[in-house]
Amino acid sequence: MTRLFVRLLLAACFVASATAHAQPARYEIDPEHFSVGFLVDHLGYAKVLGLFQKAGGSFTFDEKAGTLSDVRIAIDSASVFTGHRKRDDHLRGTDFLNAVEFTQIVFKGASAKRAGGRTFVVEGQLEMLGKTQPVTVNFTWNKSAQYELPGVKAYVMGASGRGSFKRSAFGMSYAVANGWVGDTVELMLEFEARRT
Q: Provide block-wise average pLDDT over 10 residues at a time, the chain (196 residues).
A: 46 44 88 97 98 98 95 98 98 98 98 95 98 98 94 95 98 97 98 97
Helices (H), 37-131: 85-92
**Domain assignment of residue 54, given as a range:** 23-195
What pLDDT score was predicted for residue 152? 86
Residue 148: inside a domain:
yes
At residue 151, φ and ψ (nearest 5 deg) are 85, 0
What pLDDT score was predicted for residue 10? 44
- 142: domain CATH number is 2.40.128.110
Rounded to a whole number, what is the distance in angstroms from the first to the last CA of the chain? 40
Residue 120: inside a domain:
yes
Residue 16: inside a domain:
no
What pLDDT score was predicted for residue 70? 98
Helix, strand, coil tally for the chain in percent (to 5): 20, 55, 30
Quote the number of domains for the chain. 1
